[in-house]
Structure formats: C-alpha cells, structure tokens
Amino acid sequence: MTLLGLLFTLTCSVVMYIYNPEEPEGDFPDWVLIYVPVAMFLYQVNFSLFPLDHQNQVLDAADGIQARKNGTTSPLGMLFDHGCDMVSLFLILLFGLAVFRLQFDYNGLQSILLLLTFFIPAFFHMSETYFLRALHLPILNGPNEGILFPAVGCIVSYFTGT
C-alpha cells in the first residue's frame, strides 16, 4: 500500500513536470489541478467522519496499522515506509512551490533552509517512532494537514484560474 501511495505521488510529479508552465503567469491544465489533490488525499489523508478516529487511513498508513494489529512489524518495513515518506515529502514540497509559483533556487541558502524546515521535523518524528515504538502526533500535524496546503492551492487555482 505504501508503494502504491508513492506511485500516486510520483505520477503527480511527472504530470506537474510535463505540464508546468514556462512563464510564471502560465496556468496548469484544469485536470492537473484536480488530479494532484485527489492523489495526495489518497496517499495520506484519512477518510473518516470523526476527526480523531484513525481507523480509516488510506494507502500510506493502512499497511502500518495492519502490521501493528497483526504483530508483523519489522525494521525493514519501517525503513521502507519512512523512505517512501521522505521521497513523497520532497515531491509534495515541489508541488507546493509549483502551485504557488515560487522558484526553487538549486544553489541558494534559501533552498537549503526550506528543505531543512520540512525534513528536520520529519526526521525527529521518524526517530521517535523507531526508538519509542509509537508516533505521537498532535491533532494538527505535518503528515496529514501539511498535505492540505498544496492540495488547497491546486483547488483554489482550479476555481480562480490563477
């Protein structure tokens, strides 16, 4: 399930790379602005009527919940899951930059600080999972609500055309 979620994220990156407008004022095609949020929601967000009920996770978290329930967790599975999460985190960061028309300077200190802003908390959360055997996230957290920013940006851009 984690691999399938990563494939959704990879297809989003390919689609956004192909259809990324050359000029800053250019627009993405409408179907791209709908496909990307749907794929991101399928990757991470839980579909639940109750906000604190984490039983209905989609793709990324479903296999971890099932493995913990059955007692079949392994360090290799955790490494694979968290490795896919890191790749997805980088790609979702690029989605946000593309949707909000921000430039990613590949040589600058600003880019390094931007990446560290996202990867340092993720590293500590994954270290917490490894050492404490539990992940304690607040109600508003990066893995779930952090995906909402690029997704909402795509949806707003779809309706407003900007």
First-residue to last-residue Cα distance in the chain:
34
Q: Judge residue 33's burial from the number of C-beta atoms within 10 Å of its C-beta, 0-12 exposed, 13-18 middle, 19 or more buried.
A: buried
148: nearest Cα among 37, 50, 42, 10: 37
Q: Judge residue 131's burial from the number of C-beta atoms within 10 Å of its C-beta, 0-12 exposed, 13-18 middle, 19 or more buried.
A: exposed
Find out whether 44 and 147 touch, Cβ atoms under 8 Å. Answer: yes
Find out whether 5 and 44 touch, Cβ atoms under 8 Å. Answer: yes
Active-site amino acid positions: 82
The first and second tokens of residue 45, run together, are 């967000």
